[in-house]
Amino acid sequence: MNVTERINETGLRGSGAVSKTYAIVLLFLALRAAGNSSMAWGMKQVPEKMAMNPALYLRAALNPFVALGIAALILALLARMALFSLADLTFVLPVTAIGYVVAVLIGKVFLHETVSHQRWLGTLLIFAGAVLVGSTSRNTTSPGTTAEDDPL
Amino acid sequence: MRWLLVAAMVFSTVLSDMLQSYEMKRAGEQSVTARGLRRLLQVIAGRRLLILAIVCNALSFFSFMALLQSEPLSFAVPASSASFVVETVLAKFVLHERLGARRTAGALAVLAGVVLVGG
């Protein structure tokens, strides 16, 4: 394989891994939003107030919406673990914090909740921070990878 | 009791994420297709530290739920963001990740945002 072919192959593999990373981020966010919404909906139908008693949690899990929510959250956990195989912890944490933005938007659009100015400002900061982190190199610890900005 | 729960939640979250990040990078690139998830489950089953990470994740979840029983969400959410700070520092010094100016600025913006959303 000549140098040009090798560079092309590395580039394609690199861009493929980047798209895969963002695809898993989107999947994680969708699963967590669906899981939390389903859990919240199901928990409203559970009569008992939850406490430190595990039996109450097990009984709550029999509700179909709670069960669906738990399944979605388990899949979200697996997607996040796959994400850790592709990207740094300091990349994954801020980028997946977009989940807070999704939660505020779901609350506003579907549940017609009132969102204060402070919460909108927080949402904007999370979004801006996540975009900023998302523009950096996703993996700075694997051999042969470099940070796109000056390391501190 | 409230600070004990916050400490339990932050400690278990940090330990869970650090272990997951460390072990998953060692395990190599994973995917979320049906075959990829099957392989991922095999990876988890074969690595004790990943099982410990999942146990810590569950502890973190129950500590958060217990905190919500006695404290308002406006306290619990900003308090949980303490793990974000600890994990970022540990990622630099323990996992040897290179933060860079842009990533540090972004992480600080996210942290401020989480505190405002929860407050």
In tens, the pLDDT along A11-37 reads 445 567 788 999 999 999 999 989 888
Domain positions in chain B are 2-118
- pLDDT above 70 covers what percent of chain A? 78
Three-state helix/strand/coil letters over B28-90: CCCCCCHHHHHHHHHHHHCCHHHHHHHHHHHHHHHHHHHHHHHCCHHHHHHHHCHHHHHHHHH
Question: Residue B44: its chain A contacts at CB < 8 A?
Answer: 81
Predicted confidence (pLDDT) per residue in B25-48, tens digit: 999 999 999 999 999 999 999 999
Residue A142's pLDDT band (boundaries 50, 70, 90)?
A: low
Per-residue model confidence (pLDDT) at position B94: 94
Per-residue model confidence (pLDDT) at position A5: 43
Distance from CA of A140 to the nearest CA of B (A): 6
Per-residue model confidence (pLDDT) at position A146: 45
- pLDDT above 70 covers what percent of chain B? 99
Q: Does A105 touch chain B (CB under 8 A)?
A: no
- Checking if the pLDDT of B74 tops 80, the result is no
Question: Residue A123: its chain B contacts at CB < 8 A?
Answer: 113, 117
Q: Which of residues 18-77 of B touch A (CB under 8 A)?
A: 18, 20-21, 24-25, 27-32, 36-37, 40-41, 44, 50, 54, 57, 65-66, 69
Predicted confidence (pLDDT) per residue in A35-86, tens digit: 888 887 887 777 666 556 667 777 878 889 989 999 999 999 999 999 999 9
CB-based contact A61:A45 (threshold 8 Å): no
Task: Provide CB contacts within 8 A for B2, sequence distance 6+.
Answer: B67, B70, B71, B75
ipTM of the complex: 0.90
Query: Who among A17, A88, A136 is closest to B102 (CB)?
Result: A136
The lowest-confidence range among A52-61, A142-151, B55-64 is A142-151
Per-residue model confidence (pLDDT) at position A147: 46
Query: Who among A127, A134, A140 is closest to B97 (CB)?
Result: A140
Query: Who among A51, A121, A151 is closest to B69 (CB)?
Result: A51
Q: Please state the rounded mean pLDDT for residues B88-97.
A: 92
Per-residue model confidence (pLDDT) at position A151: 41
- Checking if the pLDDT of B68 tops 70, the result is yes
Per-residue model confidence (pLDDT) at position A150: 42
The token duo for A143 is 């051999």
For A48-58, b/e burial (b = at least 16 CB within 10 A) is eebeeeeeebe
Q: Please state the rounded mean pLDDT for residues A113-125.
A: 88
Distance from CA of A11 to the nearest CA of B (A): 17
Higher pLDDT, A9 or A127: A127
